[in-house]
């Protein structure tokens, strides 16, 4: 079973790698205002840019897994997004090239892998469509996130022959997750548009460095660029039609249920990398769900089979973690009690967040949810084990 766990852990790292307050500054006397940069970018209908990423993930019981990926993004209002990516599998050394399309009108994400002549479709809800923009480092969303964080003016310099002005934030709230963040944005003084962005995100079990560059603004586009070509000999992959990540309360409950069924308890943390690092606990668990999953994983031979099996873990855990991250970003004061809450307890608070001046939404340890007032929440939390 150990070999199956290792295969799943490596595949999980690859899957995840493919996936990333008060205004303390109001402008400079002669420079660029960040709010003005956002206003300009939001007026642009179509643009392209490149992203180079380096991801390092450490799974429990394993050495670090590192992966580099190069992507070209094309974003156009009315059409959607297209991503052309190239990476190298860290275990096999195989070059992986893929085209991914996010098509809002059809509400689907379509991935095409020419080397295997496979394609996979996934239905997306509105929340997930928005999240895909964030995952792709959409500069509009990234600038909004920077505006919502304490940030500073780095002054002017010259970058690749262009006079630019820099902005930086190191606020962990930029990611809405756990860990450290260092984000720098460089804007051309002449045009007021971004020319480069550098991001370093570090958690307990993961590190990611991304560079966005070669921005092309107001590029001409056509419908053909967003119309995937599927030759007759291309066939659906094993994950075609798989359930998409759900960044909703329902998705979070599904992730909690999934974890509890596998381990008999709730995760101690909702950080995605920490959640993925608990794959080793699936191996040691004696629950029927864990035994069945590991037996099926041990029989998986091809990379496609292993990846498809891995998504059964990644999807519900990603739904849970991303929902929690959203609560943090929206400043809803979430509190998670997974270290002490016992599965099945109808009265124990497992996860709660603020929904009004004196109103809270609560997911209980038996996974039912309810809305309560502040006094009721205080009484409920008084009963939690210390």
Read off the pLDDT of residues 325-345 as tens digits, 9 standing for 90 and up.
888 878 899 999 999 999 999
**Which has more pLDDT, 157 or 129?**
157
Spatial neighbors of 238 by CB under 8 A, at least 6 apart, are 304, 305, 307, 308
Q: What residues does each domain of the chain span?
A: 21-236, 332-386
Beta bridge pairs of residue 166? 155, 186
Is the pLDDT at 94 greater than 90? The verdict is: no
DSSP state of 358: T
Q: Is 336 helix (H, G, I), strand (E, B) or coil?
A: strand
Predicted confidence at residue 164, as pLDDT, reads 95
The model's pLDDT over 147-166, given as tens digits with 9 standing for 90+, comes to: 888 899 999 999 989 999 99
How far apart, in whole angstroms, are the C-alpha atoms of residue 45 and residue 217? Answer: 8
How far apart, in whole angstroms, are the C-alpha atoms of residue 282 and residue 278? Answer: 7
Predicted confidence at residue 131, as pLDDT, reads 62
Is the pLDDT at 145 greater than 60? The verdict is: yes
Predicted confidence at residue 30, as pLDDT, reads 37
Q: Are the C-beta atoms of 59 and 9 separated by less than 8 Å?
A: yes
How far apart, in whole angstroms, are the C-alpha atoms of residue 172 and residue 306? Answer: 33
* Terminal-residue alpha carbon distance, the chain: 36
Share of the chain above pLDDT 70, in %: 79
Provide mean pLDDT across the span 182-194: 94
Predicted confidence at residue 331, as pLDDT, reads 84
Residue 255: is it exposed, middle or buried by C-beta count within 10 angstroms (0-12/13-18/19+)?
buried
The answer regarding whether domain 21-236 maps to CATH 2.50.20.10 reads yes
H/E/C letters for each residue in 74-143?
Answer: EEECCCEEEEEEEEECCCCCCEEEEEEEEECCCCEEEEEECCCCEEEEEECCHHHHHHHHHHCCCHHHHH
162: which 2 tokens? 């262009």
Predicted confidence at residue 270, as pLDDT, reads 87
The model's pLDDT over 200-231, given as tens digits with 9 standing for 90+, comes to: 888 777 788 889 999 999 999 999 999 888 99
The model's pLDDT over 34-67, given as tens digits with 9 standing for 90+, comes to: 889 999 998 999 999 999 988 887 765 566 778 8
């Amino acid at each position: 079973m150990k070999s199956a766990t290792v295969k799943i852990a490596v595949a999980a790292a690859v899957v995840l790698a493919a996936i990333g307050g008060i205004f303390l500054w109001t402008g400079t006397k002669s420079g660029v205002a960040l709010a003005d940069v956002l206003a300009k970018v939001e007026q642009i209908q179509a643009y392209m840019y490149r992203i180079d990423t380096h991801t390092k993930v450490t799974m429990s019981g394993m050495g670090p897994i590192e992966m580099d990926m190069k992507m070209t993004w094309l974003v156009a209002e009315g059409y959607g997004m297209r991503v052309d990516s190239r990476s190298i599998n860290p275990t096999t050394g195989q070059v992986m090239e893929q085209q991914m399309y996010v098509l809002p009108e059809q509400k689907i994400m379509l991935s095409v892998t020419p080397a295997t002549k496979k394609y996979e479709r996934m239905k997306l809800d509105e929340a997930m469509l928005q999240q895909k923009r964030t995952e792709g480092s959409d500069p509009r969303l990234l600038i909004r996130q920077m505006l919502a964080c304490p940030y500073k003016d780095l002054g002017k310099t010259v970058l690749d022959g262009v006079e630019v002005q820099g902005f930086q934030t190191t606020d962990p709230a930029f990611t809405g997750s756990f860990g450290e963040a260092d984000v720098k944005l460089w804007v051309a003084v002449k045009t007021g548009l971004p020319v480069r962005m550098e991001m370093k995100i570090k958690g307990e079990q993961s590190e990611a460095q991304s560079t966005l560059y070669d921005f092309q603004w107001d590029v001409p586009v056509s419908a053909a660029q967003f119309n995937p070509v599927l030759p007759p000999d291309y066939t659906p992959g094993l994950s075609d039609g798989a359930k998409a990540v759900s960044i909703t309360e329902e998705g979070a409950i599904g992730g909690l249920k999934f974890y509890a069924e596998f381990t008999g308890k709730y995760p101690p943390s909702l950080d995605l990398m920490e959640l993925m690092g608990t794959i080793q606990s699936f191996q040691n668990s004696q629950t029927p769900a864990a035994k069945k999953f590991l037996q099926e994983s041990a029989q998986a031979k091809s990379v496609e089979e292993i990846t498809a099996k891995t998504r059964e873990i990644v999807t519900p855990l990603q739904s849970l973690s991303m929902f929690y991250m959203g609560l943090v970003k929206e400043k809803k004061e979430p509190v998670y009690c997974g270290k002490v809450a016992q599965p099945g307890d109808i009265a124990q608070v497992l996860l709660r967040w603020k929904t009004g001046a004196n109103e809270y939404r609560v997911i209980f340890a038996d996974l039912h949810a309810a809305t309560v007032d502040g006094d009721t929440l205080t009484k409920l939390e008084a009963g939690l084990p210390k």
